[in-house]
A = this chain, B = another copy of it.
Amino acid sequence: MKFRAHVLVSLKEGVLDTQGKAVRVSLKNMGYGSVEEVRIGKSIMISLEATSRPKAEKQVEAMCDDLLVNPLIETRSVTLEAI
């Protein structure tokens, strides 16, 4: 079976998001004064082959632990769909 996993990686609350800050300042300078905060994260789409949904979930979680997410400063949310 084929699956598509969507991993959303965000910086933890309290971790300084320099990229988000730069975007917020740019937006303000462009006239968007109503913007209060901007936080930027990564969206990772993974297409993979697995024999079952639990196995696919387990694999994606392992990939997050091994490479995709730095748990010291980031949080993740994973959604999985069969395709």
Q: Which of B8, B35, B36, B37 contacts A43 (CB 8 A)?
A: B8
Q: Say whether, besides A23-B68, A26-B67, A32-B63, A46 and B41 are in contact (CB < 8 Å).
A: no
Q: How far is the CA of A71 from the CA of B40 in the complex (A)?
A: 19
Interface residues of A, count at CB 8 A:
33
A42 interfacial contact with B, CB 8 Å? yes
Among A20, A30, A34, A66, residue most surrounded by chain B Cβ atoms (within 10 Å): A34
Contact with B along A25-61 (1 / 0, CB 8 A): 0110010101111111111111111100000000100
Q: Are A10 and B63 in contact (CB under 8 A)?
A: no
Q: Are A46 and B35 in contact (CB under 8 A)?
A: yes
Q: Are B47 and A36 in contact (CB under 8 A)?
A: yes
Q: Are A41 and B45 in contact (CB under 8 A)?
A: yes
Chain B residues with CB under 8 Å of A37's CB are: 45-47
